């Protein structure tokens, strides 16, 4: 029941957040163009014909399936990502319960409904845009569960199927987004470090890492993705100290608003609680989650320092896995002995999330820029009296549900047609070395 409730809350929250359409930035426009180009049989390319080299194709393949159902419309993006957000909600809730039960805990039903609401709101709030991470976070709970079961298994047969699942889901993760190497690498480290130490554990770890990387590399070769983001020592847009500050700040902002240093206090408090809880022998599941999250975060931090990336490390999509893995496990661990304390703490965090949902739903959460200006001009020229306000188009661009794109219209202003609003993709073309 709690798992179904999580998906329901996620969908309701998603609906509130997407009353005016769905937001896209350069990553989203690349993914949508790739999907429509694949649907048209042109390959994984921009409408310009240039290959998409910075992002793996699996998310575009997924969007292509919805293009077949709903056309190259805003509706296809809205529905495709709604399905992923609902899937995320149920899978992350399922993962937390599964690990807790495997650890010997017995979560009580009435304590789960609050957690279900929190997880549902959280995934919807952090899955608002057209990002490949929407797919990543639908696949990641499966991968984390496979890793957990592999490390817990003793019989050969049990280890075999969990290793196979880890390899399959790990490959899918890498084909969804390059940054997923952080998760695959973390799992391989944990597998290699199993006790008692053995060469077999090392071999299994190499297989768990090598097979997904081989599949990812093969796809890159087939698609001609020979050059992507600029990589090298100190190639990051910022230095290591700045990224460390961004990391802590970004993690804290997943809980509280960026006011008066509150994010730093929140994340340090969260880390202190985890450190206190994992000392117990009964917290094996939380201990696994903490180590997996720590390793993954460390690898993400390294990636930002050796790769030129325009996105700051405060971006929720880069670090929200920490909350998705640990928050349910922390709540379930605390509620086993102190249910009232756990409920009060989670209610306070949930109140912030609901406040953000309200702000976004009312169009008051972002500074207006971008696509609504040319869109209003197109509507004026078409003789329409409707005018979109800044609050309705708060990011780089917002695609309304009835908007659509086509290969035949790669550039130009928005045009009102009998089919809806014809728009051209925003002209984001990645620089050769990914540096500007």
Query: pLDDT tens-digit profile of 227-278?
Result: 777 776 776 778 889 999 999 999 999 998 888 889 999 999 999 999 999 8
CA distance 118 to 114: 6
Q: Per DSSP, what are the bridge partners of residue 420?
A: 417
User: For residue 157, what pLDDT is reported?
Assistant: 66
pLDDT exceeds 60 at position 59: yes
Higher-confidence residue of 297 and 110: namely 297
Is 423 among the domain residues? no
Residue 433 pLDDT more than 50? no
Q: Which residue would you say has higher pLDDT here, 233 or 313?
A: 313
Enclosing domain of residue 138: 2-361
**Would 371 be classed as within a structural domain?**
no
Digit-coded pLDDT (tens) for 67-78: 999 999 999 999
Q: What is the pLDDT of residue 48?
A: 86
Angle between helices 284-306 and 240-253 (to 10 degrees): 140
pLDDT single digits (tens) 351-382: 999 998 988 777 666 533 334 444 555 555 54
192 domain-assigned: yes
Residue 146 lies in a domain: yes
The residue that leads in pLDDT, 364 or 48, is 48
What are phi and psi for residue 290, nearest 5 degrees?
Answer: -65, -45
pLDDT above 70 for 298: yes
State mean pLDDT over 45-55.
88
CB neighbour list of residue 59: distance below 8 Å, 6 or more residues apart: 31, 131, 132, 134, 135, 176, 177
The answer to whether 316 touches 254, Cβ cutoff 8 Å, is yes
Q: Of 121, 75, 81, 113, which Cα lies nearest the Cα of 97? A: 113
- Nearest CA to 170 out of 136, 220, 134 is that of 136
Is the pLDDT confidence value at 337 over 70?
Answer: yes
**CA angle in degrees (0–180, nearest 5) for 432-435-436:** 105
Cα-Cα-Cα-Cα dihedral sign, residues 360, 131, 430, 184 = positive
Look at residue 431 and tell me whether its pLDDT is greater than 80: no
pLDDT one-digit tens code per residue, 73-100: 999 999 999 999 999 999 999 999 999 9
Average pLDDT, the chain: 86
Within a domain: 296? yes
Judged against a pLDDT cut of 60, whether residue 323 lies above it is answered with: yes
With contact defined as beta carbons under 8 Å apart, do 138 and 87 qualify?
A: yes
What residues are paired with 45 via a beta bridge?
51
Q: Which residue, 135, 144, 149, 143, is CA-closest to 178?
A: 135
Largest CA distance in the chain: 74
Q: Which of 124-133, 183-192, 310-319 has the lowest mean pLDDT?
A: 310-319
Contact 401, 420 (CB under 8 A): no
Number of domains the chain is built from: 1
Stretch 129-140: mean pLDDT = 95
- Position 53 scores a pLDDT of 87
Q: Which of the 8 DSSP states describes residue 293?
A: H
Confidence of residue 20 (pLDDT cuts 50, 70, 90): confident
Q: Is the pTM of this model over 0.85?
A: yes
Residue 380 counted as domain residue: no
Percentage of the chain exceeding pLDDT 70: 86
Q: Looking at the domain assignment, is residue 393 inside a domain?
A: no
In a domain, residue 220? The reply is yes
In the structure, what pLDDT confidence band is assigned to residue 429 with cuts at 50, 70 and 90?
low
pLDDT band at 390 (very low <50, low <70, confident <90, very high): very low
The pLDDT, as a whole number, for residue 364 is 64
Which residues contact residue 72 at a Cβ distance below 8 angstroms, ignoring those fewer than 6 apart? Answer: 32, 35, 36, 39, 404, 405, 406
Binned at pLDDT 50, 70 and 90, residue 414 comes out as confident
pLDDT in tens, 278-288: 888 778 899 99
pLDDT at 313: 87
Give the rounded percent of residues in the chain with a pLDDT score beyond 90. Answer: 55
> Half-sphere exposure of 26 toward its Cβ, with a 13 Å CA cutoff?
13
């Amino acid at each position: 029941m709690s798992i179904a409730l999580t998906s329901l809350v996620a969908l309701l929250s998603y609906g509130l957040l997407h009353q005016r359409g769905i937001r896209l930035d350069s990553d989203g426009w690349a993914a949508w163009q790739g999907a429509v180009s694949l649907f048209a049989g042109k390959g994984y390319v921009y409408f310009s014909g240039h290959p998409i080299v910075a992002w793996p194709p699996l998310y575009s393949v997924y969007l292509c399936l919805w293009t077949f159902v709903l056309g190259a419309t805003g509706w296809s993006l809205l529905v495709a990502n709604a399905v992923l957000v609902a899937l995320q909600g149920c899978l992350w809730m399922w993962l937390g319960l599964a690990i807790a039960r495997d650890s010997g805990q017995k979560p009580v039903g009435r304590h789960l409904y609050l957690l279900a609401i929190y997880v549902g709101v959280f995934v919807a709030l952090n899955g608002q845009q057209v990002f490949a991470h929407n797919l990543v976070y639908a696949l990641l709970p499966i991968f984390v569960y496979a890793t957990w079961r592999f490390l817990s298994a003793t019989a050969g047969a049990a280890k075999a199927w969990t290793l196979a699942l880890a390899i399959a889901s790990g490959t899918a993760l890498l084909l969804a987004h390059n940054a997923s190497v952080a998760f695959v690498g973390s799992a391989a480290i944990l597998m290699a470090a199993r006790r008692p130490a053995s060469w077999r554990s090392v071999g299994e770890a190499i297989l768990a890492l090598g097979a997904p990387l081989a599949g990812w590399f093969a796809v890159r070769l087939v698609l001609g993705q020979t050059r992507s983001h600029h990589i090298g020592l100190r190639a990051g847009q910022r230095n290591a100290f700045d990224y460390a500050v961004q990391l802590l700040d970004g993690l804290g902002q997943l809980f509280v608003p960026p006011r008066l240093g509150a994010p730093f206090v929140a994340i340090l408090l969260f880390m202190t609680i985890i450190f206190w809880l994992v000392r117990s022998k009964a917290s094996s599941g939380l201990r696994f989650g903490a180590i997996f999250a720590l390793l993954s975060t460390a690898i993400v931090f390294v990636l930002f320092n050796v790769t030129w990336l325009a996105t700051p490390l405060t971006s929720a999509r880069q670090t929200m896995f920490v909350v998705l893995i640990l928050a349910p496990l922390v709540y379930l661990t605390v509620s086993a002995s102190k249910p009232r304390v756990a409920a009060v703490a989670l209610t306070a965090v949930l109140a912030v999330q609901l406040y953000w949902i309200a702000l976004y739903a009312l169009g008051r959460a972002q500074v207006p820029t971008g696509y609504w200006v040319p869109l209003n001009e197109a509507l004026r020229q078409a003789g329409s009296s409707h005018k979109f306000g800044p609050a309705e188009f708060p990011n780089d661009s917002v695609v309304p549900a009835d908007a659509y794109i086509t290969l035949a219209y790669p550039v130009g202003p928005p045009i009102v047609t009998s089919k809806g609003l014809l728009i051209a993709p925003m002209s984001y073309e990645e620089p050769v070395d990914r540096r500007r």
